[in-house]
Structure 1
Amino acid sequence: MRHLVHRIVRCTAATIAGRKPATLMNISNDNGGLLDAWDRNRADIFSRSEIDYYELKRTDKNAIVLFFNQNLLDELLRNKSVNKFLSECEYESDSIDYVLDMLRRRYATVGCPPEIGVFLGIPLKDVKGFMGLNSLRHTKYGMWRIYGDPVLSEKRMNEYRCARNMIRGRLISGEDPVEIIRGNEFGFLNKPKFIHEDYLRT
């Protein structure tokens, strides 16, 4: 279990730290039996945590899991720009349950749906640029493909790197990774506000 929890914490650091609404992770038995450990321990790991999870795809060999902060994801889905974008992608509701179910169904039919980027903290302009829904030109590569002015996108990437380094430091210091997932010091009310007007600029 310990190896699994370390992997989850490292992968989802920016979500644990409140800097992005959700993180996608592939959990497989190819990596030391992580899928079996996931099935045995997931409920216990995330008890008393503001981080939740949802399996978007499942096979005998792996699970594609979306880890998300329910408060941040709900705030994102209530934003007018995001709501309009998802309507253009044929989403009919902004409820978390509906959106997660839509993502799961699209994963089953077309693979990873491109609109998932907005839930993963990628600026809306870059998600729409990748999908060909705006006129911005592809300008740079990074954690994702950047469209238009790279300043905002690179700022967001740096925030994610800082969150990852902070969480990594806590792991190196010997802190229990389960307690990092459950920790109150990253409580939602103490986090920098996620939704910024420039982040949602299209």
Structure 2
Amino acid sequence: MSRISNTRDLVYRIVRCIAPTITGGKPATLMNITNDNGGLLEVWDHSKADIFIGSEIEYYEFKRTDKNVIVLFFNRSLLNDLLEKMPIKRFLSERGYETDSLDYVLGVLRQRYVEGCPHEIGIFLGIPLKDVKGFMGFNSLRNTKCGMWRVYGNPRVSEERMNEYRHAKSVVTRRLFAGENPVNIIRDGGIRVF
């Protein structure tokens, strides 16, 4: 396969994976980029800077081996807004995060990720605080549903959020199938329904 077709394959995979973040409904998405399927890690290393030029999406590499890299794709504005919410700020502060600087918070999260996936990462991925706390055993809510994540307590808000994420993926997938350039989808952002 040529480098161009590999790059196109990688960008398609990224766009489908991070669709809810691209469209502005989800602050961040975690993705594993691996060499197992066509050398995508090498393609990522060669083309990552070019893919996101002119986009609101940024990336932060959490953990790397010779076979793969775990990347957090995020919208800085959405993530900053999320971290400014008092319940989130308090929760992360209790876990040792100083939330005044997003770059600092991401550095701490990366450091913790190297040792194993920290459960508080759910906050960054747009999972409701009640569900993150429930998963960590920090509240008395019982597990009421499993979907994109485990839901604790009343599932209404969690289900609505999951549906928003599914809708974003569906819309972005339709844009891809309609022949739209995936790099343009990354740079363009917002949802356009066909």
**TM-score category, normalised to shorter length:** over 0.9
Shift of 1:95: 1.3
Q: How many matched pairs?
A: 185
TM-score by length of 2: 0.93
Distance 1:21 1:96 in 2: 12
Could you tell me which residue of structure 1 aligns to residue 47 of structure 2?
41
Which region of structure 1 is more displaced relative to structure 2, 21-30 or 129-138?
Answer: 129-138
Q: Which residue of 2 aligns with 1:137?
A: 142
Question: Deviation above 4 Å: which 4+ runs of structure 1?
Answer: none
Query: Amino acid of the residue matched to residue 41 of structure 2?
Result: L
Measured against aligned partners, the alpha-carbon deviations of 1:36-72 in whole angstroms (never above 9, x if no partner) come to 0000000000011000000010111100000000110
Q: Deviations over 1:136-159 (max 9, x none)?
A: 111111110000001111111000
Aligned equivalent of 1:177: 182
Normalised to the residue count of structure 1, the TM-score between the two structures is 0.89
- Measure the CA separation in 1 of the matches of 2:156 and 2:143: 13
Aligned mate of 1:56, from 52, 62, 80 = 62
Sequence identity percentage: 66
Task: Find 2:173's aligned residue among 168, 171, 174.
Answer: 168
| Residue aligning to 1:192 | none
Write out per-residue CA displacement over residues 7-26 of structure 1, whole angstroms, 9 at most, x where no aligned residue: 00000000001010000000
Instruction: Flag structure 1 segments of 5+ consecutive residues without an equivalent.
Output: 188-202
Aligned runs of 1:18-167 on 2, under 5 Å? 18-109=24-115, 111-167=116-172
Equivalent residue for 2:22, pick from 16, 27, 41:
16
Q: How far apart are the structure 1 equivalents of 2:82 and 2:157?
A: 18
What is the SS of the residue equivalent to 1:44? helix
Alignment partners' CA distance in 2, 1:113 and 1:46: 27
Structure-1 separation of matches of 2:168 and 2:124: 17
Shift of 1:113: 0.5
RMSD: 1.1
Contact 1:56–1:65 (8 Å) recurs in 2: yes
The gaps in structure 2 that reach 5 residues or longer are 1-6
Task: Give the residue type in structure 2 aligned to 1:140.
Answer: K
Deviation at 1:76, TM superposition (A): 0.6
For 2:125, the aligned partner's letter is: L
Letter in structure 2 aligned against 1:151: R
- Between the aligned partners of 1:104 and 1:70, the Cα distance in structure 2 is 16
Once the two structures are TM-superposed, the CA of residue 88 in structure 1 deviates from its matched residue by 1.2
> Could you tell me how far apart the structure 2 residues matched to 1:93 and 1:72 are?
14
Contact 2:83–2:99, Cα closer than 8 Å, also in 1? no
Amino acid at match of 1:5: V
